[in-house]
Structure 1
Amino acid sequence: MLHHFPSALRPAIVALWAIDEAMWAAIAAASQPALAGIKLAWWREALARLDHDPAPPEPRLRAVADHIVSRGVSGSDVAGIEEGWAALLDPVPDADRVLLRGQRLFAIEARLLGVEDPLLPEAGSLFALSDAMRRRLGDFGQARRALLGDLRGRRVGRAARPVTLAARLAARDLAEPEGTPGRALALLGHRFHGRITGADYPARRE
């Protein structure tokens, strides 16, 4: 998906998703939820410090400082995705908190890209819930179906589609694995018509 963004922005997009992946790794590698919570809190605090302190030697934090904070997006904004990951540590995760991860990721990308679209919050929410289910981190079927209903038939504006490709593919990945022809067609279709849901997209797969 990276090649759908302007080349000048790609280091910033890579830096953003590297932080997101680091937070996922904190959860995946921890033997107990409390340990994962400590690691997530470290990332949140370290990112927030970028707003007033030089970046430490940690390469992912330096990349955020060099490519995201330098473009006017605060480290605190990036730190905000931690709340969505932290919600997944609860015995019964709250879908309203889990979806914040996607909303904030998409908001940052849209700001970097200089675009706005009214469907971005819902698309980000769908991404977060679908991705969490794909990783087997919770059952958010009811909230996800509600979002699918809200988004069905609606189109994302062309300028914002590099951002919402992640929602289209995360949702599609619940239906079939990566690398399949249907997934590739879903990506191309979204770039062409801007729909996140469509006839090829199952209403549910829980």
Structure 2
Amino acid sequence: MTGIVEDPERDLVLTYARAGRRAGLAALLALDDALAKLLRTTREPALGQMRLAWWREALEKLDHVPAPAEPVLKALEAEVLPHGVTGASLVPIVHGWEVLIEEEQLAADAMRRFGEGRGQLFVAAGALLGAAGDPLAQAGQGWALADLAGNLEDEKERAVARDLARPLLEDAARTRWSRSARALGALAHRARLDLAEAPKAAGAPSRVGRLLWHRLTGR
């Protein structure tokens, strides 16, 4: 899954969040990046589960004690929790990632569980941003599955992930997103663009234009 790399499209999407909440959205995405990196760099399933358990416990503790000296947790404490998002509400994101360690082969049901868990990032971000009536869970699941499809090696598994992601993202795209949540809507549109039969490269003018149109219209 995507790591912490230079990503001009994501930098653009972050500007869609109002200034006072932008750092919070960046912190939530950094949490997802950290979990993705954990899986990418851990070969032993038992070790991966131990590391994910540490993140689960650390997120839950954010609601009761100061964050340890870990940059992602510090950012969540400073930029996310003050806006009504609890550390405990972020734990399902970790559960979603854990599916990829627990399952030797990713059947459709396991992928759905992954999408439902990781997709809670959109729900938390929606609470942070003050979203109103937006299809957060649906879009978050589609976004998570589209990214999964782009990172799987097995073509059959990739096809299943794409087939699960498309209807979720297409349905979410039919909604006019509230102004507060347009950063999340843009992430969902970006995931749809990645699922195209012949996707344009990230940063292509047509992709950027589509994201800008969403910023203006919510569509």
Shorter-chain TM-score tier: 0.7 to 0.9
Measure, in 1, the Cα distance between the counterparts of 2:104 and 2:178.
38
Question: Which position in structure 1 is the counterpart of 2:39?
Answer: 27
* Ranges of 4+ aligned residues in structure 1 off by more than 4 Å: none
Assess if the C-alpha contact under 8 Å between 2:93 and 2:117 holds in 1. yes
Cα distance change, pair 157–9 in 1 and its aligned pair in 2 (3 A): closer
Shift in Å at residue 129 of structure 1?
0.7
Partner residue of 1:172?
193
Q: Provide the residue aligned with 2:112 in structure 1.
A: 96
Deviation at 1:178, TM superposition (A): 1.1
Matched, 1:130 2:146: yes
- Flag structure 1 segments of 5+ consecutive residues without an equivalent: 196-206
Does the CA-based 8 Å contact 2:142-2:166 persist in structure 1? no
Tell me whether 1:108 sits opposite 2:121 in the alignment.
Answer: no
Structure 2 residue matching 1:127: 3-state secondary structure: helix
2:180 alignment counterpart: 159
Return the offset for 1:26.
Answer: 0.4
- Structure 1 residue 150 and structure 2 residue 166: aligned? no
Matched, 1:183 2:204: no
Describe the SS at the equivalent of 2:177: coil
Cα deviation, residue 78, structure 1: 1.9
- For residues 55-105 of structure 1, the C-alpha deviation after alignment (integer angstroms, 9 at most, x for no partner) is 111121111111112222111112221112111221233122111245311
- Amino acid across the alignment from 1:103: G
Give 1:45's aligned residue: 57
Answer yes or no: is the 8 Å Cα contact 2:18–2:180 preserved in 1: no
Contact 1:84 1:98 in 2 (8 A): yes
**Change in 2 beyond 3 A, CA 1:135/1:58:** same
- Matches of 1:59 and 1:101 in 2, distance apart? 23
Aligned-partner Cα distance in 1 for 2:54–2:64: 16
Whether contact under 8 Å (1:123, 1:167) holds in the other structure is: yes
What's the TM-score once normalised by structure 2's chain length? 0.80
Deviation string for 1:131-154 (max 9, x for gaps)? 111222753133123325534644
Q: Percent identity?
A: 35
Quote how far apart the aligned CAs of 1:36 are.
2.1
Would the aligned equivalents of 1:176 and 1:183 in 2 still touch at CA under 8 Å?
A: yes
Greater relative contact order structure (CA < 8 Å, 6+ sep) = 2
Q: What residue is the counterpart of 2:14 in the other structure?
A: 2
Q: TM-score, normalised by structure 1?
A: 0.84
- The question of 1:56 aligning with 2:72 is answered no
Question: For residues 75 and 131 of structure 1, what CA distance do their matches in structure 2 show?
Answer: 24
**Number of positions where the alignment pairs a residue of Structure 1 with one of Structure 2:** 195
Aligned to 2:10: none
Q: Which consecutive residues of structure 2, in runs of 5 or more, have no partner in the other structure?
A: 1-12
Q: How does 1:57-72 map to 2 (within 5 A)?
A: 57-72=69-84
